[in-house]
Amino acid sequence: MVVVKFILLLIVMCGAAFGTDILEEFKKKDYAGVHRIYQENPSRNFSRKELIMISFSLRKLQFYRQDVKMNVRLIKKEYNQYHKRLLKQIKAGDTIDSDQYPEALKVLYWNLMNAYGSIILSYEKHSQLIKKDHEHYLIFAKILSELEFREGKVDKLNDRIMAHILMLQNLVYKFSSSWFLQYMSWQQESQLVGPNGFSSNLTVTNRGLCLGGDLGYENGSYHWYVDGCAFYGSGGVSAESGTGVNYQQSNVPSYGLKLGPGASLIVSSSKSRIGIKIPIVYNVQTLQNPGQPNFSINAESAISVATSVYSRWQFDKWYLTTEFGKYVDREATIWSLGFGHQF
Amino acid sequence: MKFFFLIILLISAKASWAYPNFIGHGYTSCLNCHYNPGGNGPLTDYGRAIAATAISSGALYPESMSEEKVAYTSGFFFRKPVQNYVRTQINYRGFQLVRNPGSSRSESKQWINMQADARLIIKSPSDRFVTVINYGYSPKPTGSQEDMDEWRSREHYMGYRFTPKFGLYAGLMDKAYGLRVIEHVMVNRTTPQVTQNDQVHGVQAHYLGEKSEMFFHGFLGNMSQKEDIRMKGGSFMFERTVADIHRVGASVMHSQNEYLKLLSFAGHGRWNLKEGSALLAEIGQTKRTADASFFDKTSRYGILQTYLRPWRGVYFFTNVEYYQDNIEKEPYFVRWGPGLQYFPITRLEFRADVYNTRNFSPDSSSKDSWMYLLQAHIWL
């Protein structure tokens, strides 16, 4: 940019006789005026200096795609032989002596790289067009690094471009699915009722395995999904001490389904995530009635809703999960620890 | 079923105290940030700078303050050290413990001053030679029969690194064994007796290779205790870096006094899940042989500690503990502890832990027990 300005300043100071309409508008810093004149007849035989002024104005107006054309036109018009030789050398992998190439040509490459960089940075959504623009950007970044021109600045812009492309890619939601197997523990509550209004709470502590999967959409930051699994396990139950009732059962089978929506925040590049779920649990478990006459079991609803905190640690396609939840309508909790694999 | 649970702990698997989860920031060895190669106790200048710039949130600093300036203010009382021979540090940790929250009959609340230490470090400029003296207040362990002072030293030692790879340390230190997680009540610390009050006088050799790290620790017990109860013995711990960023390791320890013999061994792992997120796991077993043989038993434990860092300074974690008091008997418990850790600014940590304990027994079933704690940690 500095070199371009310097060249322009020289032109103005020398009072070179190219007193065109372009120069007048440019002197007034009316870049829109320069652009208008150019648009009126783009194929006009502009001088090299006029083309430089038009290019500068286009950049000022952020018309980067037109600026690309202008710089290419300048290269073809003024430095075509140099350009062809340079491309040939790069293709052959030859060592390049950057002193053999004019500074002005390097500045044109610099302008081209920056123009493509600005185009890429202006994207707010990921699209196929970025790929093409990025390819062009990389060509000029490569040429500049071979010419050892403003290397530090080139590297800095490269990093910025890569970060922007990654950010745009991370915004794109993609379908995701996986299967998992969990070791799960959950509690069911029932009531032991007897004569004369006797009632005592029973807590069944179950453990088992839950096999299932999830379907959803995720991008680089969020995961929205529905997951479900079928579980099978067993649990034990005993009457609370002090009730005077002897009631105890072991390994009472239990099976059912756990299904619900969830949302997670993806917190690292390894795709580890933390989120919440609202699982609905359908549990089938039948407790035997006590042997004592007039005593019976009142089972609670087989369907319960819970809220849970969910975390997932990803090792490429495999992952480990933990989930800890509490039923909405009662004190009991449900938790699981498992592993899964993404499709 | 328990086997399945242990397998999951294993495949998914250093304070009073240290933060072994910082492997998630790429720090495989504790020596990066602590004078004690096994973690715990005073931080090195580098460790303090890391705490200020990578661990703590930057949200409270003005935008004009560079990370370099933040690092400089991480010294004692916000000053950049002016010499390289003496360091002083002050450390406080206290928490509100609430048991059975919400229960009208059994809820209890208690504020516990867990740690209030003043620390003096005398060292050579390169940290090759180091003397650490750590003295302060810590509560007597609950149910302790010992006449233990509340004001005491829990750590004092001298160390010399003959080469960057090898160092010798002598004095009162934590035993080299397993994962030195900050939660000293976790079963991987209580079962083999490596809690916040189990330091011993001894000599520790430390090897730090490119991919592996080793500790040999010979000890004579805590010399401030009566001779008959001093736990004498030795331990060995080994860790190896795998896949460049993770660590797996194993430990073995034998200790005994006049009444009790303990033989413990454990395997552990620390996994770097990038940008501060990490997984830690340990499974182990401790065989106790007592004078009174009816106390003989072998206990088995497993822990899984998980950390996720959504934003700089904030960590969501879950502690999952499995403990079987006697492997010949069926009952065991699982303690599940989700929590949140927040470093709003360097020198300050807030933490909230929830603990849900569930007992598994073939003969009985009971409701879970709950407790939570709200913790503040300040270091100057």
Whether the Cβ atoms of residue B311 and residue B57 lie closer than 8 Å to each other? yes
Q: Indicate the length of chain B as a whole number.
A: 380
- Predicted local distance difference test score (pLDDT) of residue A225: 95
Q: Taking CA atoms, what residue in A is nearest to B319?
A: A322
Shortest alpha-carbon distance between residue B54 and chain A (Å)? 15
- In this prediction, residue B144 carries a pLDDT of 58
Chain B nearest-CA distance from A81, in A, is: 48
Cα distances from A327 to residues A111, A187, A308, in angstroms, run: 62, 10, 9
Flag the least confident range among A17-26, A95-104, A138-147, A208-217.
A17-26
The beta strands (E) that lie in A162-247 are given as: 174-193, 199-218, 222-238
Interface touch B309/A324, C-beta < 8 Å: no
Residue with tokens 């293709």, as numbered in its chain: A91
Longest Cα–Cα distance in chain B: 67
Give CA–CA dist B129/B34, Å, rounded.
Answer: 13
Q: Where does chain B show beta strands of DSSP type E?
A: 86-99, 108-123, 129-137, 151-163, 166-173, 200-208, 212-219, 232-242, 246-256, 260-272, 278-290, 297-311, 314-324, 332-345, 348-360, 369-379
Return the amino acid letter for B245: I
Complex prediction ipTM = 0.77
The mean pLDDT of A9-36, rounded to a whole number, is 68
Burial class (CB within 10 angstroms; exposed 0-12, middle 13-18, buried 19+) of A124: exposed
What letter does residue B141 receive in the DSSP assignment? P
* Long-range contacts, stretch A150-157, CB < 8 angstroms, 24+ apart: A150/A110, A154/A113, A157/A113, A157/A114, A157/A117
Contacts of B12 in chain A (CB under 8 A): 313, 320, 337, 339
Chain segment A96-141, per-residue pLDDT in tens: 888 888 888 888 999 999 999 999 998 888 888 888 889 999 998 8
Q: Which residues lie across from A284 on neighbouring strands?
A: A255
- Cβ–Cβ below 8 Å for A320 and B308: no
A270-292 pLDDT, tens digit per residue, is 888 999 999 999 999 888 888 77
Quick one: which H or E segment has residue A322?
strand A318-327
pLDDT grade, residue A6 (50/70/90)?
low
| Cβ contact A236:B362 at 8 Å | yes
Which stretch of DSSP H or E encloses residue A305?
A: strand A303-315
Whole-model pTM: value is: 0.78
Residue A341 — very low, low, confident or very high, per pLDDT cuts 50/70/90?
Answer: very high
Number of other CB atoms surrounding residue A209 within 10 Å: 17
Q: What is the pLDDT along chain B (380 residues), one digit of tens a residue?
A: 555 544 444 444 433 345 777 777 777 778 888 888 888 888 888 888 888 887 888 788 877 777 777 777 777 767 777 788 888 888 899 999 998 888 777 888 999 888 898 989 999 988 899 999 999 888 876 665 566 778 888 899 999 999 999 999 999 999 999 998 888 889 999 999 998 888 899 999 999 998 999 999 999 999 888 888 889 999 999 999 988 889 999 999 999 998 899 999 999 999 888 888 888 999 999 999 987 777 789 999 999 998 888 888 899 999 999 999 999 998 999 999 889 999 988 888 999 999 999 999 887 788 888 999 999 998 88
- Top mean pLDDT of A36-50, A217-231, A241-255 is at A217-231
Q: Which residue of B has its CA nearest to A311?
A: B308
Asked if A236 and B362 come within 8 Å (Cβ–Cβ), the reply is yes
CA nearest neighbour of B336 among B5, B77, B3, B4: B5
Which chain A residue is nearest to residue B368, measuring alpha carbons?
A332
Chain B residues with CB under 8 Å of A310 CB are: none
Cα of A180 to nearest chain B Cα, Å: 13
Question: Amino acid identity of A88?
Answer: K
